[in-house]
């Protein structure tokens, strides 16, 4: 089905754009009220995040409306940028160049080719089996044994999170769900919308009510009040969007709860890596958000679990 002819998908995208318009108006009012002294750091950060969201939503909507090819290309580019940030943050050695070339220019594009042609059997095992075997071989060929295990683990972990996990987002388009043919773009949007809304709502609830920190060392800004408020709000949003999915309302709520919790733990894991490397963000690509990996860390962890559970329970 052509995405432009799906009124429910267009309604979803219209709702997202309406929220962005309202957010833009609110931030402009807050900035205007700040006076000559200028807005506070919190308001300035909020304005930067809203501007970044406009760019991200427009790019994502265009990819979604172009069909499967546009979505696959978009997420392949996102994987490339995320993997670049990850490898930059976890430096390797000259002997790893062959393994890195294979990771960026062979493994990554081939994984997304498998998504594009819908070859589930190979897509599901290509990175965790074949790439995991190839990377240490190519690193060993370099002849450098210094921190060999650590170096190969960095490349493998980067491929797993930035490429394999993230490729499950456009892979949703390959699922053949009875009675839902041609509508998978809405399911993809459901995953992204619930996951990203959870991140935003956790931030909002944390700013409003946050007192007790969840993980002071890993992520000092995350609080129990923000986590509970964000997870419950995003799960409620997921339940309200059940009409765009093949699930009943309670099924949509459970899947939304799963997405939000996996996203939270994904954020903690990737924060642990940043703290280990002594940095605040993975990069500065997205204004107000840091790098690509800072924006998609929760999506990387929720996407594969969501994909395989939907496939297990809803695909014959």
Place 49 in a pLDDT band, splitting at 50, 70 and 90: confident
Find where tokens 């388009």 sit.
Answer: 173
Mean pLDDT in the chain? 90
- Mean pLDDT throughout 123-129? 97
Query: Residue range 93-115: average pLDDT?
Result: 96
DSSP one-letter code for 36 = T
Q: Residue 214 in contact with residue 223, Cβ under 8 Å?
A: yes
Share of the chain above pLDDT 90, in %: 60
pLDDT level of residue 120 (50, 70, 90 thresholds): very high
pLDDT at residue 227, rounded to an integer:
94
pTM: 0.92
* DSSP state string for 127-163: IIIIIHHHHHHHHHHTT--TTHHHHHHHHHHHIIIII
Question: What are 79's two structure tokens?
Answer: 């994987």
Please say whether the beta carbons of 114 and 126 come within 8 A.
Answer: yes
Q: Is the pLDDT of residue 152 over 80?
A: yes
Tell me how far apart the alpha carbons of residues 168 and 112 are, in angstroms, rounded to a whole number: 10
Assign 4 a pLDDT band (cuts: 50, 70, 90): low
pLDDT at 1 (0 to 100): 46
Q: Give the gyration radius of the chain's Cα atoms.
A: 20
> With left for phi above 0 and alpha for psi between -120 and 50, is residue 146 left, alpha or beta?
beta
User: Residue 191 corresponds to which tokens in the numbers above?
Assistant: 């995953």
Burial class (CB in 10 A: 0-12, 13-18, 19+), 60: buried
pLDDT single digits (tens) 238-293 = 999 999 999 999 999 999 999 999 999 999 999 999 988 888 888 777 666 678 89
pLDDT tens digits for range 294-310: 889 999 999 999 999 99
């Amino acid at each position: 089905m052509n995405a432009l002819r799906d009124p429910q998908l267009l309604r979803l995208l219209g709702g997202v754009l309406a929220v962005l318009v309202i957010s833009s108006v609110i931030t402009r009012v807050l900035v205007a009220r700040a006076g000559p002294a200028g807005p506070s750091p919190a308001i300035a950060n909020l304005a930067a995040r809203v501007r970044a969201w406009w760019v991200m939503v427009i790019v994502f909507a265009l990819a979604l409306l172009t069909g499967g090819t546009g979505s696959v290309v978009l997420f392949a580019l996102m994987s490339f940028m995320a993997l670049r940030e990850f490898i930059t943050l976890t430096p390797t050695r000259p002997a790893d160049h062959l393994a890195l070339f294979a990771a960026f220019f062979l493994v990554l594009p081939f994984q997304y080719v498998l998504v594009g042609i819908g070859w589930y059997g190979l897509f599901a095992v290509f990175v965790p089996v074949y790439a995991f075997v190839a990377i240490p071989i190519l690193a060993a060929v370099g002849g450098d044994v210094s921190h060999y295990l650590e170096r190969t683990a960095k490349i493998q972990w980067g491929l797993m999170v930035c490429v394999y996990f993230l490729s499950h987002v456009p892979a949703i388009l390959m699922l053949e769900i009875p009675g839902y043919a041609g509508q998978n773009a809405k399911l993809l949007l459901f995953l992204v919308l619930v996951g990203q809304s959870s991140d935003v709502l956790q931030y909002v609830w944390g700013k409003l009510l946050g007192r007790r920190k969840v993980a002071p060392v890993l992520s000092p800004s995350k609080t129990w009040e923000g986590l509970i408020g964000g997870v419950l709000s995003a799960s409620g949003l997921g339940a309200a969007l059940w009409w765009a999915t093949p699930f009943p309302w309670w099924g949509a709520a459970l899947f939304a709860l799963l997405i939000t919790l996996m996203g939270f733990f994904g954020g903690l894991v990737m924060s642990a890596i940043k703290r280990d490397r002594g940095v605040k963000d993975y990069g500065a690509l997205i204004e107000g958000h840091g790098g690509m990996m800072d924006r998609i860390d929760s999506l990387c962890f929720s996407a594969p679990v969501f994909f395989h559970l939907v496939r297990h329970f809803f695909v014959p």
